[in-house]
Copies of this chain bind each other. A is one copy, B any other.
Amino acid sequence: MARIVVDVMPKPEILDPQGKAIVRALPHQGITAFTGVRQGKRFELEVDGEVTEQVLATAREAAETMLSNPVIEDVVNVTVINDATSTEA
């Protein structure tokens, strides 16, 4: 079984209150290494069988139309991962 990962992030010009809250909270935990944080979404789509070019095109279409709001979000990544590896290639 293969999976397709879709990454969605708020557009750079869009305020990201969750990211802002995290970046303000980090110094209270003694963490000062990061100057900014943005929070987005990661989807994993399970595919039975082979990931053909057509399946990937369908994933891209779903990413743009259902998994993201194109007014405020960008689809930054659509990648195939195999379950044989625990992390992305």
Contacts and interface: CB of A to CB of B under 8 A. Distances in A.
Given A29-B62, A87-B76, A40 B42 contact: yes
B33 A58 contact: yes
Size bracket, chain A contacts: 35 or more
Q: How many copies does the complex hold?
A: 2
A42 B44 contact: no
Contact of A25 (B8, B25, B37, B66): B66
A12 to B, nearest CB: 10
Interface of A: 4, 7-9, 19, 22, 25-26, 29, 31, 33-48, 55, 58-59, 61-62, 65-67, 76-77, 79, 86-88
5 contacts: A9-B44, A31-B62, A36-B45, A42-B42, A76-B86
Given A9-B42, A35-B48, A76-B87, 19 more contacts: A4-B34, A8-B42, A19-B43, A26-B66, A31-B58, A31-B61, A31-B62, A33-B55, A34-B47, A34-B59, A35-B46, A35-B47, A36-B45, A37-B43, A38-B44, A39-B42, A39-B43, A40-B42, A76-B86
